[in-house]
Amino acid sequence: MRKTGAKEWKVAGYSRETAVKLLKNGLNPLVAVLLASRGADTPEKVRALTTASVSDVSSPLLLKDMELAAARVRRAIDNKERVAVYGDYDVDGITSSCLVADYLRSKGVVCDIYIPERLEDGYGVKDSALETMAKKGVSLVITVDCGITAADNKRYAASLGMDMVITDHHEVTGEMPESPVVDPRRPDCASPAKMLAGVGVAFKLICDVEGEDRTEELLDKYGDLVAVGTIADVMPMTGENRVFVRKGIELLRSGKRPGLRELCRAADADIKKLGPVGVGYVLAPRINAAGRLGGTDVAVDLLITKDDAEAARLAERLCELNSERRRIESAMVSEALAMLESDPPGDKPIVLASSSWHQGVAGIVASRVSEKFDLPAIMICVKDGVGRGSCRSSGGYNIFEALYSCRDLLMSFGGHELAAGITVEEKNIPALRKALGVRYSACSAAKEEPVLPVDFEVIKPAELLTVQNIKALGALEPYGVGNPQPVLCITGATVEDVLPLSDGRHTKLWLSKRGAVFEAVFFSKSVRELGAEKGIRANVAFTPQVNEFRGRAIPQLNLCDFVPLDG
């Protein structure tokens, strides 16, 4: 482990014996070394990291209650019942809602979509919405990306003459509804697909309704929605998620769905080159903006429409909402940082509250604050003595478990280890802040120094970092949680030249080691911030990329750390 200016480098290294064995089995040299670094010492482990086949998707019936849920949906289809899909207002919930509704409508079912307003209704199933559905003649309500806490709502739905099928992926915190409940996180669920997004669970429901042998066909139709929801909800890029995202990205790039195609165009993004990172930074924020600012109908209509002109109009509207979201977010972040400047957080979770904040943007502001201070963060919007907060984790800290330990101070909460939402009385916010601080101090995970995971050190860069080898790393995509982008390092590289980019916001360098010279870029770091000077030596950590421009392809090092060496 090497000390840098801000973090430790935790260099995993690799087994030479394993790398040689993988090379002999026909793997590319760079891929072989990277797989060896990540412990892929058996054919099964190699396959798990390099392939993504529909055959790897487990049976939907392994999910508890799936048989009951699918049977009830089939009955609704056969009897042409009126069905309502009840979703959440984030990207996962919106894509889930569109997927299930579109499928049911293709079967001739009259299907309504209901997504609560974040500001007026809050998260989860509401009795008032159930009443509206009953008046319309709905006989079956299918929840997507929500419902695991809706035991009382289910009973109320039954009193109105409606059945419920629950599909969710959030943690079970109490009494489950007396309905078919399909949630891989329920304790008695034997499915290996524990880390599906809500849209992944919804997809498996329609796969079972349609028949397992139609999974690939359904993925060819709805894979883009599954991929967008899974990426946006920051689910691990392992197991079935890997299959869904890889197949879904292929479908997305084809431009077959007018809404996603036009949204890319409105955002000035090349859909044919869009990958998981692009989905996370280009598509997801714009779809999320609809839910944050009370315009989920715009996002739903965009994802379902088959009309190009309507898609273009809706895409422009989403981009406008996203611009407004950015303005509100910037103001909230500035206010939060001002609060922390006058009252520094120290080494405890950040819990801030204000009556002037916008609830729809609290989650993304919590993420920004958490990233800046490398601490868990909770942003609470207070109104009429009640605060509704968005929570984000940091450094492996399980925010859901932390909230569970403080549940006596909360009116309600839900979520998972990385993100959660709470409702808390304003008078209890100081006690919550104190309780979370005590728990955080006692948590060994919270005391770990931040580290930069590095796969291995490149000793002979000229041999390993070739265009052909770097392109071969595509076999390991999609990257994300559980399957991060490769991070390699070179020690003792010489800075041959330095060039400021974009008015000094970014830095381009030319680095040499053992006679090989590489272009390198450090985004969002100036030359001064890096301490980069021509002629000095430095240790660098980077993700290898191929820079293609005007028919020329060269290796490029996208730097994530630069450590000047003394002497």
Q: What is the pLDDT of residues 113-167, one digit of tens each?
A: 999 877 666 677 899 999 999 999 999 999 999 999 899 999 999 999 999 999 9
The DSSP annotation for 141-177 comes to: EEESS--TT-HHHHHHHHHTT-EEEEE--SPP-SPPP
Please say whether the dihedral angle defined by the alpha carbons of residues 204, 414, 478 and 20, taken in this order, is positive or negative: negative
Indicate if the alpha-carbon torsion angle 123, 223, 367, 170 is positive or negative.
Answer: positive
517, 494 contact by CB (below 8 A)? no
Whether residue 507 is found in the same domain as residue 413: no
Asked if omega into 478 is within 30° of 0 (cis), the reply is yes
**Predicted confidence (pLDDT) per residue in 481-518, tens digit:** 889 999 999 999 999 999 999 888 899 999 999 989 99
Q: Is residue 335 part of a domain?
A: no
Instruction: Give the DSSP per-residue string, 234-298.
Output: T--SSHHHHHHHHHHHHHHHHT-SHHHHHHHHHTT--GGG--HHHIIIIIHHHHHHHHHTT-HHH
Residue 77 belongs to a domain with what CATH number? 3.90.1640.30
Domain with residue 510: its CATH number is 2.40.50.460
Euclidean distance between CA atoms 23 and 472, whole angstroms: 13
pLDDT tens-digit profile of 68-84?
Answer: 999 999 999 999 999 99
In DSSP notation, 41-75 reads: -SHHHHHHHH---GGGSPPGGGSTTHHHHHHHHHH
Domain boundary among 447, 472, 489: 447
Q: Tell me the pLDDT tens digit for each residue of 529-551.
A: 888 999 999 999 999 999 988 78
Q: Where do the DSSP E strands lie in 384-534?
A: 386-392, 412-415, 419-425, 451-454, 456-457, 488-501, 506-513, 516-522
Number of domains composing the chain: 3
What are φ and ψ of residue 79, in 5° steps? -90, 0
In a domain, 108, yes or no: yes
Q: So what's the pLDDT on residue 127?
A: 93
- What average pLDDT does the structure give for the chain? 92
Q: Are residues 390 and 536 in the same domain?
A: no
Residues 487 and 465 in one domain: yes
Q: What is the pTM of this model?
A: 0.86
The CA distance from 565 to 550, in Å, is 36
Instruction: Give the three-class secondary structure for 447.
Output: helix
Tell me: do 461 and 434 sit in the same domain.
no
Residue 469 covered by a domain = yes
Could you tell me if 60 and 152 lie in one domain? yes
The average pLDDT across 249-262 equals 97
| 385 torsion bin: left (phi>0), alpha (psi -120 to 50), beta (else) | left
Task: Say yes or no: 72 and 192 in one domain.
Answer: yes
489 occurs within a structural domain: yes
- Are residues 351 and 430 both part of a single domain? yes
In a domain, 278, yes or no: no
Find the mean pLDDT for residues 207-218: 95
Identify the CA nearest to 469 among candidates 454, 483, 486.
486
At 445 the pLDDT is: 52
59, 200: one domain: yes
Instruction: Check whether residue 95 and residue 157 sit in a common domain.
Output: yes
Residue 254 confidence (pLDDT) above 50: yes
- How far is 417 from 401, CA to CA, in rounded Å? 7
In a domain, 233, yes or no: no
In this structure, the answer to whether residues 481 and 396 fall within a common structural domain is: no
Please check whether residues 493 and 558 belong to one and the same domain. Answer: yes
Segments forming the whole domain that contains residue 176: 55-214
Give the CATH number for residue 407: 3.10.310.30
Q: State residue 439's pLDDT score.
A: 85
**HSE of 14 in the Cβ direction (CA atoms, 13 Å)?**
27
Dihedral (C-alpha) 231, 237, 241, 245: value to the nearest 10 degrees? 60
Q: Do 151 and 104 reside in the same domain of the chain?
A: yes
* Domain stops at, among 399, 423, 447: 447
User: Where is the domain boundary, 175, 194, 214?
Assistant: 214
| Among 48-52, 238-242, 519-523, the least confident range | 48-52
Q: pLDDT at position 442, please?
A: 72
β-bridge mates for residue 231, sequence order:
none
The pLDDT score that the predictor gives to residue 2 is 47
| Residue type, position 112, single letter | D
Q: What is the pLDDT of residues 414-443, one digit of tens each?
A: 877 888 889 999 999 999 999 998 888 777
Total count of residues recorded for the chain: 567
Q: Among residues of the chain, what percentage have pLDDT more than 70?
A: 96
Q: Is residue 138 part of a domain?
A: yes
In a domain, 23, yes or no: no
Q: What's the mean pLDDT in 186-213?
A: 96
Write down the residue that tokens 């919550």 correspond to.
432
Label the pairing between strands 516-522 and 506-513.
antiparallel
Half-sphere exposure of 342 (CA within 13 A, CB side): 6
